[in-house]
Structure formats: structure tokens, C-alpha cells
Structure 1
């Protein structure tokens, strides 16, 4: 297996699992975003050494036959960790980080120290109108933003999370580093002489 070669602005990560145990990773995908916005996708199957649940199999189509001969989680982690360590790592909801944590615990491995950011939170800042109106999950964002990807494939879902971030940058006029920081309060001009200070009525930014 060979990974994409940087430099990259950020990398999105997604995982699929064999069953309800978050440690049962059976696929991991990375979407590596270059400085010109190009996205290079890497994905690999993983032998979870666990049984596959019918629900998960129906969801992503990965089963024992597909992972036969695939690398184990420790082998994949050793490959991708050096690439991810200096990057902002995007996940779409906290599930992916939790799955990496659980898998590390299951294999008695130290959890890597990555700079995680959540594209769900980024999407909420960019499109607050989706709250209560479809939400900010990938399924709705695919439709609302006309994103082109195959849901429940780790590489494709990682690409989708990366596209959400890129679209959010355009939508808000903010770079990723600003989007994952505290929401900025709008500047309020100082009142002119003799004019009441109405700064208390300034619109609050979306959290």
C-alpha cells in the first residue's frame, strides 16, 4: 500500500465497522486535500478479526470475503499515523475518532495524538438553516450541496467530509483554521457623537 504524497492542507478520515463494536474497523479512508483544492483519496480494507453483523454488511457491503488477506488495524495505523500527525484531521461526527480510540485500546496500542476537527460543526456554522431542516449529516448534505460521492464507503465518505469543508470555506469566507476556532463576533462601529450605543443589539454569530 502506498499513501498519497503531500504537502496537504488537511486530511479527512472515515471508517466503517464490522459490527456494533466501534473497535471492529473493516475499512478506513483518507481524503487528502492539496493547497489547490484537489482531493486525493486513499482507502484500505482491514481484517477486523471479528464477526460481521448483518446490519453492517447490508450498510457497506463489506464482509469476510472482502477482508480476507487484508491488513490488520495495527498494520494500517502504522502506515497512516506519520502522514496524519502534522495535519488537521477532519471527521464527520465524533464516531471516527472514537473508533480509532477503541481500536487502539483493543490492540493495546497508544492512541495517536492527532489534531481532530469535526466537519459537522463546520457545516453548522456554514449552513445554520439546515438545523431542524434535514440536519448536517452526510446524507442530507449530499442532497443539499449536490455532493458527488458514494455513501458508506470509507474513502468516499472521507472525500465528502473534505468537500463539506471546502464548500464551507467558500460559503463563509473563512479558512478551515478560522472555522474550527471560536466563532468571531461581528465588529460594531463606535457610536458617533450624540448617537446611542446600540452594540448590545448586534446579531450574535452562529455557534
Structure 2
């Protein structure tokens, strides 16, 4: 049983290769081992790094026109934090998502969220034997649906379901237990982060 398995899965998309250029945020909420909600937001990236690169647009299909009328990152973040509340957080390649969040907060003078977080990429490498560990490969191995890769909400939902699947395989009843089962512990945002590849 995974009745205490409650957490938020977090994913960002960026406007360009510069860390912090967040233009979309996805969050999926899991309570009692069940994914109960998925959210997606658009936002304007921090102004100093707000340009859109053709490559990133091809990947996630978000254009400058799509975010023109959206709040800036700093204005959008409180809504994201309200949804996550006090839940621990997981991301697939947490190093990427947490570094982007850290740098976006730095660019905008915004306080970093006080999160405990883990990395499904790192845990997948410990628990599964795959050729590659990017999100589509891990999702496929665990029978998780990934509807629209590089859509922040879809990626967050898949990450949530991957964490649920890994927890079931490990017999873990919480996100902290899942980290322990993989020889690690949840990290606090702003401190040492996982090294992983997206």
C-alpha cells in the first residue's frame, strides 16, 4: 500500500538554452498514491533571458505570441507554490528543473521555494535496467502514458506516475522512503543537487 505517498511532480520548459528562461511550468499532485490533479501554466521568462530560440520552440511548440499576455515568472510562481503547498517534490532530472527554477528566481529577485525534492531519473537508474533513462524510455518501461512530451503538464503527470510505479516496485510508502530505497535522501532546494541527464 502507498497510502502515505503524497507529493508534487514538477516540470519546466525553457524559452532558450539559458538556465532560468522558464516559459511553462507543469505540476501534478499525488495524494495517497493516486495522481489527483495536473496543472500547466505559461509565463513570460525573466526579461534578461527572455528571447525564444528556434530549437526550443520546435521542441515544446511555445511561441512568443503564446506568452505575450501571460504573467511574468515572478508573478506566476505564487500560484504554482499554492498548488504544491507543503508537499515534497519530484522531477525527472531534478538537476535541470531545480537549476532553472533557482536561476529564474535569481534573475527576478524571487525567494526560492523551501522544497524537499527527489529525482526520478536517478531512481530509475537504480531500479530499472534500460538502454536510456530519459522520460519517454522510463515511462514506456513502466507502462506510464506520456501524452505530449515537452508539454510541461504532460511531463509532470508522467513523472508523477513514474514515481508511483517506482515506489510500488520498491515497496516504498512515501517519497522519502523511495529515496532511501534508492540509497539517497530527499534534498533541500538550494543545496547540493542530483547530477543527471535529461
TM-score range, shorter chain: 0.7 to 0.9
Poorly superposed stretches of 4+, deviation over 4 Å: none
Pair 1:154 & 2:155 matched: no
Measure how far apart 1:76 and its partner are. Answer: 1.3
The aligned counterpart of 1:198 is: none
Pair 1:11 & 2:12 matched: no
Measure how far apart 1:77 and its partner are. Answer: 1.2
The aligned counterpart of 1:73 is: 73
1:51-77 alpha-carbon deviations (Å, 9 max, x no partner): 110000000000111112111111111
Distance of 1:47 and 1:154 partners within structure 2: 15
The alignment's C-alpha RMSD in Å is 1.9
Distance of 2:125 and 2:44 partners within structure 1: 35
Taking structure 1 as reference, are residues 183 and 52 closer, same or farther at Cα in structure 2, changes over 3 Å only? closer
Distance of 2:74 and 2:149 partners within structure 1: 26
Measure how far apart 1:182 and its partner are. Answer: 5.9
Measure how far apart 1:30 and its partner are. Answer: 0.2
Alignment of 1:95-174 (within 5 A): 95-127=96-128, 129-130=129-130, 134-149=131-146, 150-174=148-172
TM-score relative to the length of structure 2: 0.81
Taking structure 1 as reference, are residues 151 and 15 closer, same or farther at Cα in structure 2, changes over 3 Å only? same
Contact 1:39 1:159 in 2 (8 A): no
Measure how far apart 1:183 and its partner are. Answer: 4.5
Measure how far apart 1:109 and its partner are. Answer: 1.6
Distance of 2:179 and 2:117 partners within structure 1: 10
1:100-132 alpha-carbon deviations (Å, 9 max, x no partner): 0000010012212111111112222321x22xx
Secondary structure of residue in 2 paired with 1:26: strand
Structure 1: tracts of 5 or more residues without a match: 1-7, 185-207
Contact 2:121 2:134 in 1 (8 A): yes
**Matched positions, count:** 174
Measure how far apart 1:85 and its partner are. Answer: 4.8
Pair 1:59 & 2:59 matched: yes
Structure 2: tracts of 5 or more residues without a match: 184-198
**Correspondent of 2:19 among 22, 27, 37:** 22
The aligned counterpart of 1:192 is: none
Larger Rg: 1
- Tell me: higher relative CO, structure 1 or 2? Use CA pairs within 8 A at least 6 residues apart: 2
